[in-house]
Amino acid sequence: MTSLEKKVADLRETLHTYNYQYHVLDQPTVPDAEYDRLMQELRTLESANPELTAADSPTQRIGGQPLEGFNKVEHQVPMLSLANAFNDQDLRDFDRRVREGLGIEQVDYVCELKIDGLAVSLRYDQGIFQQGATRGDGNIGEDITHNLKTIRSIPLKINETSTIEVRGEAFMPKQSFLSLNKDKEMREEEPFANPRNAAAGSLRQLDPKIAARRNLDIFIYAVGKWEAGDLDRHSDRLTYLTSLGFKINPEWKKCQGIDQVIDYVESWVTKRDELPYEIDGIVIKVDRLDYHDVLKTTAKSPRWAMAYKFPAEEAVTTLNDVILSVGRTGAVTPTALLEPVKVAGTTVQRASLHNEDYIKEKDIRINDTVVIKKAGDIIPEVVRVIPEQRPKDAEPFSMPAECPSCGAELVRLDQEVALRCINPNCPAQLKEGLTHFVSRNAMNIDGLGEKVIEQLYDNQLVANVADLYQLKRDELLGLERMGEKSVSNLLSAIEASKANSLERLLFGLGIRFVGSKAAKTLARAFDDIDQLRAASRESLEAVDEIGKKMADSIVRFFAEEKVGQLIDRLRQVGVNMHYRGPKPTVNQEQSIFHNKTIVLTGKLEQLTRNEAKEKIEMYGGKVTGSVSAKTDLLIAGEDAGSKLTKAEQLGIEIWTEQQFIDQIDK
């Protein structure tokens, strides 16, 4: 080794040590200025001598041009998700299943904080960090090596020559999250909802320089592929990974039996807010690794581990008022107007009250102090009131007897909980119905959003869906934000929608209980709208997947005089009334697909997913979205993931796309 090579190698090693002390141990030993000086010296030497630049050099944490896209990575050992526990009994049931599966009285567990971030895998060959990937669907992830290298707590080099793949949770510390959102607000950009979204968004940037500015961190919690010698326990692996320089969350603990596990869980329910990062639960794992082999895994999760999920984050605020909205089907829904409050990282001003019975059951009153939470950390809802803080002016809320939009009497249909307006001319329902009619899965008229629909209705340009086809250019130009180009595009989209196949029209008409899938089934079975209008309940129920409830709704819908008038008007303006999709073949029963349940997965090269689905249905097959014991055939394209794995485990017949096409050609 020359003196120059030794100097570069020594600089790299020194910087690795300083980086580990600062970002993993949180114990810096030199000032930042000294670290920066040595880094600049290394950059200068490597720039002048490119042949001395190594993959594990600290200078390579941020480098190269932005990527054009992410490559797929297949995990050699699947990154399974964990089953969830929500209370003590769930944990005791887990412990009972483990003990019964092992035939022993007590099990040692390891408890770890469940970091709220993005699960990733890191692969090291000959001690050098080679590749990092997202979890993806558990079998196939995305290569984000360029972004993971910007996380300074990830070692670029470890003292282990065996191939090793570790799993961890990349996350954004609370302080970094606050700084990032403050910066976004200054630039008048939409802030991130929570640190998890911010971390995930950062790691999926094509430019690593953006990820580098986000100050991400990581905790390693497990291994995938392991060739680093025999270790008997998960706790031993955590200790060994720590010795290799990986950042392991220091709060993990060995627990003897489920009682100690529950004590550990309860201790963190109240302490979680004190941490400088977000956690959303506790992960419990059987410590002995040979027990993992005995207990095995299900298709989705290991039987030797469980994730205890903390209750959804709640907040206390004041309920200022209740407003009502009328949906397309006439259902009247109450919504609480709240004093703004932050819940799970977002400011909440409205929350669902579901229906009148819910309000009465919870005794929710205007001016009450209420507790709200995000159901699934997404949808805010009022969960309870705090009676002892109820003010004297709290007002009980009662649903009105009349529709807030049109004044018609509200009724309950078929013993439903919801109150409904059944006035067919209700403005709120008509607007919602128009919006539904032009939506993507219905007539798919681009340019007709809710605001445009509202303008058209309020200016008396449309009263029902047929009026959309008689709009004039001059009328549209008079609306807000509607210029020549927008109007031309909109009129073209309206004209093009006339040629849609019948199933889109049926779905767009909003027949109760008829979704897009049922609409296609009906269109294929009856071919044109006149035959469907004339169909009896018995003939409707004879169609596969059309039950009594849906058949009754269809008959009632077409019996309405106004519906007949509307269809006649749509026909007059040129809207297609026939099914134009692929039709079942006359020799379905001779087809290999007849009465078979088939799943499509992976990327198809010669057909789109919809084209393949239509061909299967044309020959009498049924396409479903998930693999089960009832699946007869799986057609797998490129990058097929967990569905392919499950099909193999269940012994289901598997075809390539070419085999499928060859069969169709026959």
Could you give the CA distance from residue 287 to residue 260 in angstroms, rounded to a whole number?
14
Residue 318 has pLDDT above 50, yes or no: yes
Looking only at Cα atoms, what is the longest distance across the chain? 95
- The per-residue pLDDT for 377 is 44
Separation of alpha carbons 224 and 135, rounded Å: 12
SS3 564: helix
To the question of pTM greater than 0.95 for the whole model, the response is no
Pair 324, 376 in one domain: yes
Three-state DSSP at 598 gives strand
Tell whether 156 and 279 lie within a shared domain.
yes
**For residue range 351-403, what is the model confidence (pLDDT) as tens digits?**
988 888 889 999 999 999 999 886 544 468 898 999 999 999 999 998 999 99
Give every strand in the sheet of 622-624, ordered side by side.
622-624, 597-601, 633-636, 653-656
Model confidence at 111, in pLDDT bands (50, 70, 90)?
very high
579 occurs within a structural domain: no
> Is the Cβ–Cβ distance between 67 and 127 less than 8 Å?
no
pLDDT of 344 above 80: no
Query: Is 56 in the same domain as 123?
Result: no
User: What is d(CA 248, CA 220) in angstroms, rounded to the nearest whole number?
Assistant: 5
What digits encode the pLDDT tens for the residues 161-201?
A: 888 999 999 999 988 888 887 777 655 556 676 788 888 88
| 444: CATH | 1.10.150.20
Residue 441's domain comprises 427-497
| 77 within a domain of the structure (yes/no) | no
pLDDT of residue 198: 85
* Catalytic residue ranges: 114
Q: Residue 445: inside a domain, yes or no? A: yes
Enumerate the H helices of 316-463 as residue ranges.
Answer: 356-362, 427-437, 450-458
Structure confidence at residue 270 (pLDDT): 73
Indicate the pLDDT class of residue 62, thresholds 50, 70 and 90: low
- Whether pLDDT at 104 is above 80: yes
Average pLDDT in the 505-523 region? Answer: 88
Return the half-sphere exposure (C-beta side, CA atoms, 13 A cut-off) of residue 587.
Answer: 4
- Shared domain for 94 and 172, answered yes or no, is yes
**Count of other CB atoms within 10 angstroms of residue 279:** 22
State the average pLDDT for the chain.
87
What count of other Cβ atoms lies within 10 Å of the Cβ of residue 316? Answer: 12
* Dihedral (CA of 223, 227, 232, 238) sign: negative
Q: Which residue has the tokens 């290569």?
A: 143
Least confident of 87-91, 475-479, 543-547: 543-547
Residue 215 structure tokens: 């100050």
Distance CA 572, CA 570 (A): 5
pLDDT higher at 504 or 611: 504
Mean pLDDT of 106-131: 94
Distance between CA atoms of residues 417 and 404, nearest Å: 18
Does 582 reside within a domain? no
Query: Which range has the worst mean pLDDT, 205-209, 287-291, 563-567, 632-636?
Result: 205-209
276 lies in the same domain as 320: no
**Structural domains counted in the chain:** 6
In a domain, 411, yes or no: no
Residue 32: inside a domain: yes
Query: Helix crossing, 609-618 with 657-665: angle to 10°?
Result: 40
Residues 45/184, Cβ–Cβ less than 8 Å: no
pLDDT tens, residue by residue, 409-450: 998 876 677 888 888 788 999 999 999 999 988 999 999 988
Residue 26 pLDDT class (50, 70, 90 cuts):
low
> What's residue 380's pLDDT?
81
The predicted model gives 566-577 an average pLDDT of 96
With a cut of 50, say whether residue 343 has pLDDT above it. yes
For residue 75, is it within any domain? no
Q: What is the CATH number of the domain that holds 658?
A: 3.40.50.10190
Residues 187 and 289 in one domain: yes
Give bridge partners of residue 110 from the DSSP assignment.
254, 285
Pair (535, 636) in one structural domain: no
The mean pLDDT of 334-362, rounded to a whole number, is: 87
Assign residue 340 the CATH number of its domain: 2.40.50.140
578 in any annotated domain:
no
What is the rounded CA–CA span in Å between residue 630 and residue 608?
A: 24
Mark whether 159 and 261 lie in a shared domain.
yes
CA atoms of 128 and 93, how far apart (whole Å): 42
506 lies in the same domain as 559 = yes
Q: Which residue has the tokens 């709208």?
A: 529
